[in-house]
Structure 1
Amino acid sequence: MRKFKRAAVAAAGVLAFTGIAVGSAQAADLQVIITPGNAATDCHTAGTQQELDRVMGRHVTIDHCQDEGSGTMSIWYY
């Protein structure tokens, strides 16, 4: 029974690690653009979405934003 429990714990660890690797691969597909704004207040607004769609020439999905200082932010999108 102990061998079975050890095998189950090892398998769960492998599955968790695989999930992390898949998440990292998906994160690598994100693109980024640096633009004026504040990540806390400007990230997920309709205006930012419309402007990014217009600049990219297609509808994009904003994943997250990060302040870069001096009134600029990075927008991570796919």
Structure 2
Amino acid sequence: MDQTERQIIDDLFAKLRQAEAQSGPRDPQAEAHIRDTIARQPAAPYLMAQAIVMLEQALAASQNQNQELERQLQERPA
């Protein structure tokens, strides 16, 4: 893992801390089910973090592409 990858992971967990601070009470049954499932699949947190990072990157790329297309549309003669 290089410094960039470490920063991406740190940023993800910073967002999770912020979401936790802003969220309401958690559903105890859902939390227990998640905890039990993770106990059976210990690699799940790693894989979920990886999936979240990939989805965030795909979303950012899509948003950038959308902005570029909107810019091109604005510059296009009527």
* TM-score bucket (shorter structure): 0.3 to 0.5
* TM-score after normalising by structure 1: 0.39
Structure with larger Rg:
1
Larger relative contact order (Cα-Cα within 8 Å, sequence gap ≥ 6)? 2
Relative to total residues, which structure has the larger helix share, 1 or 2? 2
Relative to total residues, which structure has the larger strand share, 1 or 2? 1
* TM-score after normalising by structure 2: 0.39
